[in-house]
């Protein structure tokens, strides 16, 4: 195996895999970057998940607002287009978000069992 540089993933770039996983997050539930990264095949690529969502091709139907960091904290407001927007979107799906921008991972963390990869 070459260096961990441009490693391919079955023809699908990591980004696409990430988008797929995120789009599979059930409504009213949230997933962490680490979770997505793990499902994508690289538990260490949490940053890549963030990078992928940063582009946020909403045109593809990527619910970036359902993705939170490992603490259950929402991404920086300016990151997805508007402070409080992500919070509102989650609240609209039934996810309680704190004024600090925190969600109860204990209750809303996505198990991923609904996805069942491979």
Active-site residues: which are they?
64
- Give how far Cα 53 sits from Cα of 17, 83, 93, 99, Å: 11, 16, 19, 23
Cβ nearer to DNA, comparing 47 with 107 = 47
| Stretch binding DNA (CB under 7 A), from 65-73, 88-96, 107-115 | 65-73
Q: How far is the CB of 103 from DNA (least distance, A)?
A: 9
Q: Shortest CA distance to 53 belongs to which of 26, 80, 29?
A: 80
User: Distance (Å, rounded) from C-alpha 58 to C-alpha 62?
Assistant: 5
Phi, psi of 67, rounded to the nearest 5 degrees: -100, 125
Do 70 and 43 contact (CB within 8 A), yes or no? no
Question: According to the binding rule CB under 7 A, does residue 107 interact with DNA?
Answer: no
Cβ nearer to DNA, comparing 11 with 118 = 11
Question: According to the binding rule CB under 7 A, does residue 80 interact with DNA?
Answer: yes
Query: Of 33, 39, 87, 112, which lies in the binding site for DNA, with binding defined by CB under 7 A?
Result: 33
Residue with tokens 């994508």: 40
The SS3 of residue 31 is: strand
Question: According to the binding rule CB under 7 A, does residue 23 interact with DNA?
Answer: no
Question: According to the binding rule CB under 7 A, does residue 13 interact with DNA?
Answer: yes
Q: Which residues bind DNA (CB under 7 A)?
A: 4-7, 13-15, 32-34, 37, 42, 44-56, 64, 67, 69-71, 75-76, 79-80, 98, 100, 102
């Amino acid at each position: 195996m070459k260096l961990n540089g441009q490693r391919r993933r079955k023809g699908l770039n990591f980004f696409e895999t990430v988008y797929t996983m995120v789009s599979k997050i059930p409504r009213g539930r949230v997933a962490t970057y680490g979770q997505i990264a793990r499902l994508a095949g690289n538990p260490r690529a949490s940053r890549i998940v963030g990078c992928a969502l940063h582009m946020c091709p909403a045109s593809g139907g990527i619910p970036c607002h359902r993705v939170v960091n490992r603490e259950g904290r929402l991404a920086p407001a300016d990151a997805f287009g508007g402070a409080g927007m992500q919070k509102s979107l989650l609240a609209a799906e039934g996810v309680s978000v704190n004024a600090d921008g925190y969600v109860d991972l204990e209750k809303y963390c996505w198990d991923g069992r609904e996805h069942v990869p491979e």
